[in-house]
A = this chain, B = another copy of it.
Amino acid sequence: MKNVSIDTITQAFVDYCSDDTDARTMFVLQKMVEHLHAFAKETQLTHAEWARGLKFLTDAGKISDDERNEFVLISDVTGLSSLVDMIGSQHEGTSSSVLGPFHSVGAPLLPVGADLKKDNEGATVVVEGFVKDTDGNAISGATIELWQTAENGLYYSQDGAQNDFNLCCSMHSNLEGRYAFTTVKPAPYMVPDDGPVGELFRATGRTPWRPSHLHFIVQKTGYKSLVTEVFANEDPYLDADAVFGVREDLIMDYVEHSDLSALPKDLEVGDKVTLPYFKVDFDFVLVAENTITPEREDT
């Protein structure tokens, strides 16, 4: 457009796009540009501020590699990742939470009741529960993937001292829908703050800490995949999670036990359990694939 102006440039973007553009793509792009332009207008964004924003993104590109993606981290610490999770899980099942950057494909498949603690330092934790549908019926044969930090707050992929897939596994829920494993208590940790996100944190006085958590992906054909995290009730960072991942229904008690009576008797759990240990009970509720997500009134 020859006469592009502050008031016409948003429509000019839309007019540039072909009528053949996929309708959903066009809708998302139009909304993105509407918000981008409204942001610049409402803030009367200066050229220096614009250049600062571009430097932020350019620096994020420079520090990203196959192991680390600063753009995912930006999405996490601005709440976008959590918001997208919540938008996608407006249903009766277990809440979703952020995937994070530390999920590795290919963790060993272990039997229900397996021991992940092995030689790891830290408090012993037995995690046990059921995979269920929204009517409370057991779901057997669901694939559960677990990954977590060691006691030092590091995932194996961040820590040369840990074996590959340390404190990671996959597991199939049994005929009752049950899963169980022995592990160590995960630790709070800081998201990487040596890049642009760290600068953002320092400029706004934010803390990079995340409360300790166990990561899970639970999947079964016919049900929506669940990506979630389970938090510890007494964690000091529950109210300050840098990536906004905590939901009320994902906070679990770590109950301390000084004898083995709280362990599931019919599973191979307990051989390696040292006293005292913590017990966590957590059930995953999956939503059938064909469930219609209700329309939200506020959107």
Q: Does A258 contact B (CB under 8 A)?
A: no
B71 A54 Cβ-Cβ under 8 A? yes
A244 B9 Cβ-Cβ under 8 A? yes
A206 B18 Cβ-Cβ under 8 A? yes
A84 B25 Cβ-Cβ under 8 A? no
A61 B50 Cβ-Cβ under 8 A? no
B45 A3 Cβ-Cβ under 8 A? no
Instruction: Give this chain's copy count.
Output: 2
Total count of chain A residues near the partner, CB < 8 A: 80
Q: Does A265 contact B (CB under 8 A)?
A: no
Q: For residue A64, which residues in chain B have a CB less than 8 angstroms away from its CB? A: 58, 61
Q: Does A190 contact B (CB under 8 A)?
A: no
CB-CB nearest in chain B for A90:
B6
Q: In whole angstroms, how far apart are the Cα atoms of A4 and B78 in the complex?
A: 13
Q: In whole angstroms, how far apart are the Cα atoms of A49 and B22 in the complex?
A: 14
Q: Does A247 contact B (CB under 8 A)?
A: yes
Q: For residue A27, which residues in chain B have a CB less than 8 angstroms away from its CB? A: 43
Name the residue among A39, A78, A244, A296 with the largest chain B CB count within 10 angstroms: A39
Q: Does A239 contact B (CB under 8 A)?
A: yes
Residue in contact with A28 in the complex, picked from B32, B43, B82, CB distance below 8 Å: B43
Q: Does A134 contact B (CB under 8 A)?
A: no
A9 B86 Cβ-Cβ under 8 A? yes
CB-CB nearest in chain B for A42:
B31
Q: In whole angstroms, how far apart are the Cα atoms of A78 and B31 in the complex?
A: 12
A35 B41 Cβ-Cβ under 8 A? no
CB-CB nearest in chain B for A45:
B84
CB-CB under 8 A for A10 and B79, given A28-B49, A40-B84, A88-B46: yes
Ranked 7 nearest A-B pairs via Cβ: A61-B61, A18-B205, A35-B35, A17-B204, A50-B84, A57-B71, A35-B39
Which of A's residues lie within 8 Å of B, judged by CB?
1-7, 9-10, 12-13, 16-18, 20-22, 25-29, 31-33, 35-47, 49-50, 54, 57-58, 60-62, 64, 69, 71-72, 75, 78-88, 90, 200, 203-206, 238-241, 244, 246-248, 251, 296, 298-299
15 A-B pairs besides A16-B240, A40-B87 with CB distance below 8 A are A2-B251, A6-B90, A9-B79, A13-B78, A17-B204, A18-B206, A20-B205, A26-B204, A28-B43, A31-B39, A33-B79, A40-B84, A41-B87, A45-B87, A50-B80
